[in-house]
Amino acid sequence: MKDINNNLKIYKYYYTSNCEFSKNNQCIREGGCLCSSVSTMYAYMKSVLPNGYEDYSFHDFDGFINEKRVLDTDRTREVRERIWEFCYGDTWNSIGNKSLLKKTELDKLSVIDKRFSRGESLVIYGNSLAINKNESNYSKISTGKTLIASIIMNQVIRHRLYRSNNASSYDWVLYPMLVSLLIDYNSNDGNSIDYIQTWNDTDWLVVDDIMPPDTNMSAKQHALVKNRLDNFFTHRAEKMLPSILVFQFDIDKFDIAQEYGYAISQIISSKNTYIIKV
């Protein structure tokens, strides 16, 4: 789990320096400490979300990345509607000009707490890889999947401010690292044990950069990886902990159970899982 201490210190200093209720390193405000609440929230955003993705909300998904259009307008609208539904439920049609809503007004519509209590996972997928016609290698193309995951996680972490929130732990891991640590897990490597046990029980976990099946892997290693992934995600599913899986390819074109194991395949096909295709 990410240690937010350094970022927490920075934000706490920022807020308490201007706070009339901060006296002798303590808060004397009746009704609770505002500085600590917002500092902790921002510290988690800064520590957990990838660099540059800390402060994105629904309004930021507009089909453009770095001022370049990556999705056409129709597709963008469809994806925005899906993001909205995951975060704010079935209110897409009842809210007019969504761009006028402030973040806290959006929070009022949020159904993230319900998603968490029901352990509803999210799968984001779509092509990110293309063969350049002039060369035979892959180029990675941005389509906004990581951005979508960041928007969702931003909303999730914002919920720390609300009394109704029940989640307290968040993490973001790249799929290659997860696999590497899962392989090392049973070899008594203390580091991998710590990480895997933590991620096993993290309330909201993003697994990003799930690449297409590696055809160079041996059958034995492939079986091992599938087995470890099954154990990992089955544990999370049993505890009803939501996972956000970001696939960098079109999962409809692959046998996910065959390539990644039964547990991930179950997450994708579960009626409790929300799918966003980009």
Partner 1 sequence: MDHSVEEIKFQEELLNIVLNDSSKINNLLNEKVGPNNFTPDLRPIFYALFHSNTKGVALTERSFSDFIEESYNNGNYKKWIGLNHPIVQAKASQRSKFSRIFLVNADANDLPVLIKKIKDNRLKRNCIKCVESFNINQKSNFKESLRKLSHGIDLALSENEYKEIISWCPIDEIGSEWYDKLINKIDNPEEKLHCSISEIDDAMVIGFKEGTLTLFVADVGGFKSTMMLNIALNIFKKTGESVLFCALEMPRDMVLQKIVARETGISFNKLENPIMLTEIDRVRIKDELKKWEDLSQKFIILDNEERVSVSTIRSQIEKYKALFSPKVVVVDYIANLKSDDHYKNLNESSQYGQMCKDLRQLGRKEGFSVVSAVQLGRDAIKRLRNQKEGKQTVGSDDLRGSHDYSADADNIFVMVPHPSEPDSKIQLFCVKTRYGSKTFNGKNSVLLDVYPDISKIVSNQDAKIVWDNSSTDKKLQSLSEHMPTEEDLGALNGVSKINNNIGLSGDEIFGDISSSDKDSTDEWSDDIDYL
Choice from 73, 130, 176, 221 touching partner 1 (CB under 8 A): 130
What letter represents residue 257's amino acid? Answer: A
Q: Of the listed pieces 76-84, 89-97, 140-148, 175-183, which binds partner 1 according to CB under 8 A?
A: 140-148
Spatial CB neighbours of 257, under 8 Å, sequence gap ≥ 6:
264, 265
Chain residues 215-254 in contact with partner 1, contact rule CB under 8 A: 239, 249-250, 253
DSSP tag of 90: S
Q: Does residue number 176 form part of the binding site for partner 1 (CB under 8 A)?
A: no
Asked if residue 155 binds partner 1 (CB under 8 A), the reply is no
Residue 133, interface with partner 1 (CB under 8 A)? Answer: yes
Residue 119 DSSP class: T
Stretch that binds partner 1, among 30-38, 177-185, 213-221, 265-273 (CB under 8 A): 30-38
Could you say whether residue 185 binds partner 1 (CB under 8 A)? Answer: no
Of 33, 79, 153, 207, the one binding partner 1 by CB under 8 A: 33
Give the containing element (helix H, strand E) for 158. helix 145-158
| Shortest distance, position 231 Cβ to partner 1, whole Å | 14
Q: How far is the CB of 209 from partner 1 (least distance, A)?
A: 8
Residue-level length of the chain: 278
Judged by CB under 8 A, the residue of 77, 81, 91, 129 near partner 1 is 129
163 makes contact with partner 1 (CB under 8 A): yes
Partners of residue 276 on adjacent β-strands:
124
Q: If binding is defined by CB under 8 A, does position 109 make contact with partner 1?
A: no
Closest C-alpha to 130, from 239, 210, 248: 248
Q: Coil, strand, or helix at residue 49?
A: coil
Interaction with partner 1 in 72-101: which residues (CB under 8 A)? none
**146 near partner 1, judged by CB under 8 A:** yes
Asked if 235 contacts 205 with a C-beta cutoff of 8 angstroms, the reply is no
**DSSP symbol at 103:** H
CA-to-CA distance for 52 and 60, rounded, in angstroms?
A: 13
CB of 37 to partner 1, least distance (A): 4
- Contact between 41 and partner 1 per CB under 8 A: yes
- Cα atoms in the 13 Å half-sphere on the side-chain side of 66: 4
Classified as helix, coil or strand, 213 is coil
Q: Shortest gap between Cβ of 204 and partner 1 (angstroms)?
A: 13
* Residue from the set 93, 99, 132, 215 that interacts with partner 1 by CB under 8 A: 132
Please give the single-letter amino acid code of residue 250: D
Contact region with partner 1 (CB under 8 A), list: 86-94, 109-117, 206-214, 265-273: 206-214
Instruction: Judge whether 58 and 106 are in contact, CB under 8 Å.
Output: yes
